[in-house]
Homo-oligomer: A and B are copies of this chain.
Amino acid sequence: MTSIESQTLRTGVCYYPEHWPESRWAEDAAHMRRLGLSVVRIGEFAWSRLESPDGELHLDWLERAIDTLQAAGLSIVLGTPTATPPAWLVNRHAGIYAVDEQGRTRGFGSRRHYCFSYLPYHADCARIVTALAKRFGKHPGIIAWQTDNEYGCHDTILSYSEAAIAGFQQWCRQRYTDIDALNTAWGNVFWSMEYTDFDEIGAPVGAVTETNPAHRMAYWRCASDAVVTFDRVQVDIIRAHSPGRDVLHNFMGNFVEFDHHALSRHLDVATWDNYPLGFLTRDGEDPDEQRRYLRTGTPDSSAFHHDLYRGCCGGRFWVMEQQPGPVNWAPYNPAPLDGMARLWAWEAFAHGAEVLSWFRWRQAPFAQEQMHTGLLLSNGEEDTAASEARQVADEIAKLDASELRLTTNRAQVAILFDYAGDRAQRIQQPDGRTYDPLQHVQQVYRACRELGLDVDIVSSDAELDLYSLVLLPNITIDDPVLAERLSHLDATIVLFPRSASRGVDMAIPDSLPPASLRKLIDVTVIRSETLPPEETLVARGAVASTITAWRERIRSELTPAGRFEDGWGFHYTQGRVHYINAIPDRPSIRVLLKSLCAEAGVAVTPMPEGVRTRRRGGLRFAFNVSDTSHSISDLFEEAAADRIVFGEEQLAPAGVTVWREA
């Protein structure tokens, strides 16, 4: 086995020493090492064992745990326990709880029972984090710190508590300075919603009908900022006491409730928690897809997030929690196909992950997650994923030292992703939810991946110069600086519906959408319509495109590529800039992307259903989540059998094959 120090592809696991007898710790650590694991995350829910009501700290047991793990050769990520303040602590704070949209207090009994805007809790967090950082900050076993756990999990970003409303009033004061400016920016003259003082401002919920979109957008921005502020308190303390260690947080999947780009600015590494089957049965909206991929997850679910989070901290990302078997929390919890634990690990590495860490070491026999599997059964014997973890470690050992080093290849294709843009679309979504703006981005991503493309997902202030194809599926908020930068690119640029359709306070731009992007292409959106779920329209031209959900009527001197039966145009092009004024369905997006790649000079390798490929450094990976085997050399010309590092020439279901590119 490769020595840990030289290895940049590392596997790990999440462990709770406080759940098990101390006598078991050393055996657990040794067992982890036998599976090739070298990273272990601990501590992130342990507050009730770290501090008692009398203020006494109990850190000795944690030091013994750290020492034991380190002694076995494991590197430790220490979590701060702020996601789970104990009962005695919350009982001291009448206002600590979040309040939901219906006015119900979200109380004690599970986790995340605090409102980000409740400032006295920041002091509690600072106290426990300081204690931990001082005690363990320079411990040689500690390589990184995780702040809190899964910010926003269980819908905890938006709160309507008194603290949240007070925080919002203060945020508005700072942003707008005087109340008339706010009234004007929000259009409060409408329905006499004008305030005479910042103190009159409430939360945009609980009104008789829909509240002002400007109000909702501001409330969301404030809530997103509050998460960043909350996190920053801990990061500053850790950096002060624990030099040289990475500070990170574990983000989630299919989750866009706060601006992850903004929070990532003060982190070293973006990590995320990957539960492909949980996401499938919780979030999937296509029953046929759910059925087909029930035991593998959809082909692009993990990859999308790897690419999204790789774009958050300059390329550095980990998977902090990886599903090993059935989970407990989704509507249905099927078992993954044998081999998927291995496939998911290699998929993460292929997309640039430094560490892949399974959740959790051993199934808990009690409490909320007792039906969440681990690498071990609840009785301590190995469950099925343990052997796959061992296999991954053995396969890492087959790589050259140079191949182990992290290489973030720049892709030829960029998707610009904007959290505020996503939010703006949610705020003005058809009631019946014909489409979800995040799913729209994922459909565009998926079409790229089906064409065999590597993709970078970046924020709108990222460097764009070297991309050949730049896709803007959710840049809803007009951004003149971005428009200016795009106008200088030598690339194919693709705008999707609602691009630059709103100002920062949700007003329709005076020049009509796409506002400042109109300098790229001569189109004006004069009407939008939303369509019921089953309604599709066909635009005919050189190719026929089927569209759903959202359609825009364009006024332009340009000749559209197609026309709908009622005369509305579809797909306007000026030079290498394209405006796609409706939501194409999946097959139509794929056809469209293919022609855009041709224009952009990006070579495509169409993949069979369920097969995906990705390059990292000089390696090329192929993954198969279909129910059919495929010959690698049939699919990839360069994939000669003698270049395969591991995996089979016949890529079976749940198979991974890796070869060195010529």
Contacts and interface: CB of A to CB of B under 8 A. Distances in A.
Nearest to A153: B209
Q: Please list the 9 inter-chain residue pairs (A to B) with the smallest Cβ-Cβ separation, ordered nearest first.
A: A187-B366, A109-B207, A190-B367, A48-B192, A84-B192, A365-B508, A154-B209, A331-B431, A110-B207
Contacts of A189: 18-19, 48-49
A653 B208 CA distance: 39
Contacts of A383: 526-527
Interface string A55-98: 00000000000000000000000000100111110010000001
A428 interface: yes
B365 A202 contact: no
Nearest to A532: B332
19 contacts: A45-B190, A45-B191, A49-B194, A84-B191, A88-B196, A109-B211, A109-B215, A190-B364, A190-B367, A211-B368, A294-B535, A331-B430, A331-B432, A332-B532, A333-B529, A365-B507, A370-B508, A371-B428, A371-B528
Interface in A484-505: 505
A195 interface: yes
Contacts of A186: 366-367
B48 A193 contact: yes
Interface string A196-221: 10001010111111111111000000
Interface stretch (A99-107, A306-314, A342-350, A638-646): A99-107
**Quick one: which of A208, A365, A529 has the most chain B CB within 10 A?**
A208
Interface residues of A, number: 113
A49 B510 CA distance: 24
Contacts of A566: 337-338
Interface string A514-535: 0000000000001111111011
Contacts of A215: 109
A294 B431 contact: no
Given A192-B81, A370-B507, A531 B207 contact: no
A208 B110 contact: yes
A188 interface: yes
Interface string A424-462: 000010111010000000000000000000000000000
Given A367-B190, A532-B331, A206 B107 contact: yes
Contacts of A206: 104-107, 109
A331 to B, nearest CB: 4
A432 B284 CA distance: 14
Contact of A208 (B88, B154, B508): B154
Contact of A192 (B49, B91, B200, B365): B49
Nearest to A295: B566
A217 to B, nearest CB: 11
A213 B109 contact: no
Interface stretch (A373-381, A398-406, A585-593, A603-611): A373-381
A335 B365 contact: no
A111 B156 CA distance: 28
Contacts of A211: 109-110, 368
Given A200-B88, A332-B434, A377 B512 contact: yes
A279 interface: no
